[in-house]
Structure 1
Amino acid sequence: MREFIEAFVMVFIGEMGDKSQFLALAFATTYPMKTVLGGVGLGIGLNHGLAILAAVFIAGFVGDMVFLQLVAGFLFLFFGLSALKTEEAEEEEKAKATTMGPLLTVASAFFVGELGDKTQLMAMTLAMNSPRPAVIFLATVSSMILVSLFGILVGKYLGKKIPHRALSYLAAFLFLLFGTMKLYGAVNDGFKTPIWIGIYAAALAGLIIYTLIQNKQARTGRKQEK
């Protein structure tokens, strides 16, 4: 049960204010909510199922838990930096551009849209470090469905009162914290000196600042296009 809750909460936090919520909201303006949530479950289920199968294979092939912890740490840092970016406008355009039946349209959009995305990688990372990957699968898929439902309800009934960017920044902070803790627990004691910690902090701060600058430039570019 603990694994389920941890995976559920982690995915829920990571997707709050992310593009998946805006994609679900965009589809909900065209299709019934049940159809959208069914499509989310189908698309994400296939997406995460493939990711977890790959994770089981990798964990069995590698077998080195320290290496897997390092991989998990760097992936969580990647999740954190990715959470700083918002792409809601692009996702709304994707939702409007599809032409298949409602359920398959939503399912294919979420399956393709999440390929290689942080949520799929997160499911893979959690499964690599879990003795029960099926629990991780159920947790991540159900969490994505709830996140999508929350995004639809917020978008329909609360408009823009919820600061999505603030939620994204909160998720980014938590994932950067998780990643740092994973790396600290996995690296050799020789890297736990003030010098190496300072280098790591400076490098991470530089990546965060670079990402925020890129975000600002992207927003400025979109405003100029309008």
Structure 2
Amino acid sequence: MSTTVKELTVLEAFLISTGIVALAEIGDKTQLLAFILAARYRKPLPIVLGILVATLLNHGLAGALGAWLTSLISAEHLRWILGASFLAMAVWILVPDKIDEDDLGRTRYGAFTATLVAFFLAEMGDKTQIATVALAAQYEALFAVVMGTTLGMMIANVPAVYVGEKLAHRMPVRLVHSIAALIFALLGIAILAGVGASLGLEG
């Protein structure tokens, strides 16, 4: 792979990761969590920093898992798995999230620590974490994917911390999720089409 092609692939991984996660996070439980934390602590900066650190840790682990999977599974099988995963994500993202404020519990720690713990746990098994695994495996550009998904999280959640629920009521959540679902579906179809072409299944 030439340097130029590699750079374009890394840029594509970063931009796709940023866009998908930013769209997927609108109305997601972690954005709802950002609203709740902002209302509870009224300290935007520690909350934003908590979201940043939690996301870097969580998505870093997810990206590393995705990169590791590429070394365990053959390229052909990996494409089938990734194609199916992206299609499943397209469906999953259309399912609305909700969060109970009581689930946060009470903490004697400050806004930063509470946000760090709450966001890290909320992201475990969440759609954006699974997407990070799949994207890292697809693009084999760990740093670009993790930076992209982290930026996407910040784009969606920082305004939620500073502006609050007024922003949420004005966002066309269903439309935004439909766009994100379409992107996931197109990625899945493209990957599966690539499998079919490699196996001589194209029409």
TM-score by length of 2: 0.82
The match for 2:175 is 166
**2:53 pairs with 1:42:** yes
Query: CA contact under 8 A between 1:40 and 1:145: conserved in structure 2?
Result: yes
> Displacement, 1:111?
1.1
**Matches of 1:91 and 1:74, distance apart in 2:** 31
Distance 2:44 2:36 in 1: 11
CA contact 1:47–1:120 (8 Å) conserved in 2: yes
Are the aligned partners of 2:26 and 2:177 in contact in 1 as well (CA < 8 Å)?
A: yes
> What CA distance in whole angstroms lies between the structure 2 residues aligned with 1:48 and 1:148?
15
Q: Do the aligned partners of 1:52 and 1:133 also contact (CA within 8 Å) in 2?
A: yes
Q: Distance in 1 between matches of 2:62 and 2:164?
A: 29
By how many angstroms is 1:27 displaced?
0.9
Q: Of 4, 10, 13, which residue of structure 2 is paired with 1:3?
A: 13
**Matched position secondary structure for 1:160:** helix
Matched letter for residue 137 of structure 1: V
Give the residue type in structure 1 aligned to 2:77: F
> What percent identity do the matched residue pairs reach?
26
Distance 1:53 1:81, change over 3 A: same
CA shift for structure 1 position 131: 3.7
Question: For residues 148 and 60 of structure 1, do their structure 2 counterparts lie closer, same or farther at Cα, with a shift above 3 Å needed?
Answer: same
Query: Is residue 11–residue 140 contact of structure 1 (8 Å, CA) maintained in 2?
Result: yes
Does the residue aligned with 2:134 lie in a helix, a strand or coil? Answer: helix
* CA positional deviation for 1:157: 4.0
Structure with greater contact order relative to length (CA < 8 Å, sep ≥ 6): 2
1:72 aligned counterpart, secondary structure = helix
Deviation of residue 52 (structure 1)?
1.6
Cα separation, 2, equivalents of 1:177 and 1:127:
17
Give the conservation status (yes or no) of the 8 Å contact 2:86–2:184: yes
Q: CA RMSD in A?
A: 2.2
**Aligned residue among 120, 123, 132 for 2:129:** 120
- The equivalences for 1:13-52 within 5 A come to 13-31=23-41, 32-52=43-63
Cα contact 1:27–1:106 (8 A) shared by 2: yes
Q: State the partner residue of 1:130.
A: 139
1:54 aligns to 2:62 (yes or no): no
What do residues 65-97 of structure 1 show as CA deviations (whole Å, max 9, x unaligned)? 222222211111221111111123x254434x2
Could you tell me how far apart the structure 1 residues matched to 2:124 and 2:167 are?
30
Shift of residue 168 of structure 1? 2.2
**Where do residues 214-225 of structure 1 align in structure 2 (5 Å cutoff)?**
none
Q: Distance in 1 between matches of 2:168 and 2:131?
A: 29
Counterpart AA for 1:99: T
Alpha-carbon distance in structure 2 between the residues aligned to 1:113 and 1:184: 34
Distance 1:159 1:10 in 2: 18
Q: Is the deviation greater in 156-165 or in 50-59?
A: 156-165
- TM-fit CA distance, 1:24: 0.8
Tell me the number of residue pairs that the alignment of Structure 1 and Structure 2 aligns: 189
Alpha-carbon distance, 1:100 to partner: 4.4
- Counterpart for residue 110 of structure 1: 119
